[in-house]
Every structure is written in structure tokens, then in C-alpha cells.
């Protein structure tokens, strides 16, 4: 894992080049895996070769919205599920996330074979518990079709969204505090390993936050026309107020470019307004104020998406 980057160049041109590089890095590493916008997917043939877009199969939409579209909402209208219920991907998805956590720990602090074995057992236990909970929610939707043109169908879709949202939240926290994996991690790592892991997590968080800040500042510069002094001052203020970003790749994968910029504006909106206003001109402040107001209004949405570690 690369630590915080200390030299991004003295000119804005070099900063923009790096932003482009980091943006490609987000995409090429698979961290941007789904848009947070709502999607209507009407691909694929319907039964009998005819498609009825207002007829929605909730079973197929459950899996699509939990495991494919974890930010916005996907409305899959491609027809009924084939005969028989396909197995839920819940167990394998949780196992995959757990394996990635163990692999990151291995790269950070070098686990022994016994430590890895115990952590793997903890992942399996937490994954099975998660899958059992998801199946209890998912089961009633299998094979269930609703008419979105009917008020009853719209009510069912609303209840469906609430259930999927709860499962998304559970998926985000499956290995967090209170899980067997978290307890096992605390007990099996020695002081040196725990310190290495904490340092790695801090470096990872700072790296991603710096990338988000520079990406957002490039857009702000285009709209406000900042000089170098103003640009540097705003970057420094944002970097000094690093939020508690979640380090897992699942959370980062949902953070598309729009959401990353919104997160930066959330932080900017919470900075002391007096030095911030003194940094820019009156014209620039008038342009910046609506952006900060929007950011302030987005905090609850950002938190709901699971991009930040919140106190329990």
C-alpha cells in the first residue's frame, strides 16, 4: 500500500495531471464498480418474447440491488426469473469481502499461518450468519411479481427498497465492531502487528482523501478561477480536516466521481467560514456558497451510503 503522497508539485498543472492519474487508478483498480444513479435495466428477453416493463420480478431485483447496484436503485424489467430459485450470492460475497480483509492484513503486518487460520474461521462464521439473515429477508420476494402501475405494486416496491437498504447496511458492517472477525483480529495480532495495521489504514485513508480533494479542487478551480495561493490554501484546509473514510474497497467502489466531490464539499461546508471567506474574493465566495450549502445538505446521504466510519 502506498502511503500519503507528500509532493504533488508546485503548480496546478502538475496537480491536474496527478488527478487524472488517480482517476484512472480508481477505475483501473476496480474501485468504481457501480454508479450511484438509479438504473432501469430492460435487457434480455421476456417470457414469450414480449416485455411488460411495468411487471417487476422482485426476486431478481433483490439480488441486483443488493450486490450489483449498492448505491442507487436498479429496476430490472427483463422478464420473470427462470424456473427454480437460484442460490443467493450472499454467502460468497461475504466470504470474498472477508478474504480481502485478511489479504490486506497479510500485506500490512505479515500473519502467521495460525493467525490466518483463525481469522479465516471467523470470516466463515460471520459470512454464514450474514447469509442466513439475508435469506430470511430475500425469501419472500423470490418468484413475487408486482405491477408498478398499480398502487399496491408501488407500495410493495417501497417496502422492498427498505428491506434491501437494511441488507446493504448489514453487508457494510458484516466484519466491523461486534463481529467475530473484529474480536478475533483484536486477540490474535500482537502489538507490532496492530501498530502496523493501524499505520497502514491511516496511510490508505490519507491517500484516498488527498485524491478526492485534488479531484474536487480541479473542478472548483474551473468554476471559480482560483489563483495559486487560493488553490493551495483551500487544499491545505481540506487535507487538515480528513474525515473518517472507510478503508474497505467495497465502500470505495461505490464512491463514484460525483459522490467523491460531494464528500469533499461536505467537509468544506464544515470548515470555519471566516478564514475560508478571507481566502477567496467576493465573487468567488458567492459561487462557492451554494456548493457548500449543497454539501451541508448531503451529509446524511453520505453517511447513509457508508463512506464514513460513524461512532457506535
The closest of 173, 170, 88 to 135, measured between CA atoms, is: 88
pLDDT value at residue 248:
65
Cell of 99: 478474504
* pLDDT value of position 63: 87
Q: What is the pLDDT of residue 92?
A: 92
> What are 308's strand-pairing partners?
245
pLDDT value for 304:
77
pLDDT at 20: 41
Rounded Cα distance, 25 and 30, in Å: 8
pTM over 0.75: no
- Note the pLDDT of residue 31: 29
Element (H, E) at 24: helix 12-28
Instruction: Identify the pLDDT of residue 302.
Output: 82
Question: Could you tell me the CA-to-CA distances from 180 to 70, 104, 109, 286 in Å, in that order?
Answer: 24, 18, 20, 50
Residue 240, CA distances (Å) to 213, 221, 271 in order: 11, 19, 10
pLDDT given for residue 52 in this prediction: 61
Mean pLDDT in order along the chain per 10 residues (312 residues): 39 39 34 40 45 77 82 68 64 93 92 97 97 94 89 92 92 90 95 93 91 93 93 96 77 64 92 93 94 89 78 59
Bridging pattern class, strands 55-57 and 145-147? antiparallel
Q: Where are the domains of the chain?
A: 12-31+198-305, 42-188
pLDDT in the model for residue 68: 79
Long-range contacts, 234-240 (Cβ 8 Å, 24+) = 234/268, 234/276, 234/279, 237/268, 237/271, 237/275, 237/276, 237/279, 238/213, 238/264, 238/267, 238/268, 238/271, 239/209, 239/210, 239/213
What percentage of the chain's residues is helix, strand, coil (to nearest 5)?
A: 65, 5, 30
Q: What's the half-sphere exposure (Cβ side, CA atoms, 13 Å) at 262?
A: 18
pLDDT confidence of residue 226:
94
pLDDT at 45: 42
Rounded distance between C-alpha atoms, residue 293 and residue 277, angstroms: 14
Whether residue 209 contacts residue 245, with contact meaning beta carbons closer than 8 Å, is answered with yes
Q: Give me the pLDDT at residue 181, please.
A: 96
**What integer pLDDT is reported at residue 311 of this predicted model?**
62
Instruction: Report residue 75 as a C-alpha cell.
Output: 429496476
pLDDT at 11: 40
Angle, helices 151-172 vs 90-109, to 10°: value is 30
The pLDDT assigned to 246 comes to: 81
Q: Which of 297, 286, 296, 298 is nearest to 224 (CA)?
A: 286
> Whole-angstrom Cα distance, residue 309 to residue 312?
9
Amino acid at each position: 500500500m502506498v502511503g500519503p503522497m507528500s509532493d504533488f508539485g508546485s503548480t496546478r498543472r502538475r496537480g491536474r495531471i496527478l488527478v487524472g492519474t488517480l482517476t484512472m487508478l480508481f477505475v483501473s483498480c476496480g474501485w468504481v464498480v457501480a454508479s450511484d444513479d438509479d438504473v432501469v435495466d430492460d435487457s434480455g428477453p421476456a417470457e414469450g418474447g414480449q416485455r411488460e416493463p411495468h411487471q417487476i420480478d422482485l426476486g431478481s431485483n433483490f439480488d441486483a440491488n443488493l450486490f450489483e447496484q449498492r448505491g442507487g436503485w436498479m429496476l430490472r424489467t427483463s422478464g420473470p426469473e427462470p424456473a427454480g430459485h437460484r442460490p443467493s450470492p450472499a454467502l460468497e460475497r461475504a466470504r470474498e469481502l472477508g478474504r480481502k480483509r485478511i489479504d490486506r492484513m497479510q500485506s500490512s503486518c505479515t500473519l502467521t499461518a495460525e493467525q490466518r487460520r483463525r481469522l479465516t474461521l471467523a470470516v466463515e462464521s460471520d459470512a454464514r450468519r450474514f447469509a442466513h439473515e439475508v435469506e430470511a429477508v430475500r425469501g419472500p420476494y423470490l418468484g413475487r411479481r408486482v405491477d408498478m402501475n398499480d398502487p399496491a405494486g408501488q407500495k410493495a416496491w417501497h417496502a422492498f427498497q427498505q428491506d434491501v437498504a437494511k441488507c446493504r447496511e448489514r453487508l457494510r458492517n458484516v466484519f466491523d465492531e461486534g463481529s467475530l472477525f473484529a474480536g478475533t483480529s483484536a486477540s490474535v495480532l500482537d502489538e507490532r502487528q496492530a501498530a502496523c495495521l493501524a499505520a497502514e489504514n491511516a496511510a490508505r485513508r490519507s491517500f484516498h482523501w488527498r485524491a478526492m480533494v485534488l479531484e474536487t479542487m480541479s473542478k472548483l478551480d474551473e468554476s471559480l478561477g482560483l489563483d495559486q495561493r487560493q488553490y493551495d490554501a483551500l487544499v491545505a484546509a481540506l487535507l487538515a480536516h480528513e474525515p473518517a473514510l472507510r478503508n474497505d474497497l467495497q465502500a470505495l467502489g461505490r464512491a463514484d466521481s460525483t459522490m467523491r466531490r460531494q464528500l469533499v464539499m461536505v467537509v468544506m461546508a464544515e470548515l470555519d467560514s471566516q478564514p475560508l471567506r478571507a481566502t477567496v474574493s467576493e465573487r468567488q465566495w458567492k459561487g462557492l456558497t451554494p456548493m457548500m450549502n449543497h454539501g451541508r445538505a448531503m451529509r446524511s446521504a453520505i453517511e447513509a451510503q457508508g463512506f464514513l466510519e460513524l461512532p457506535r
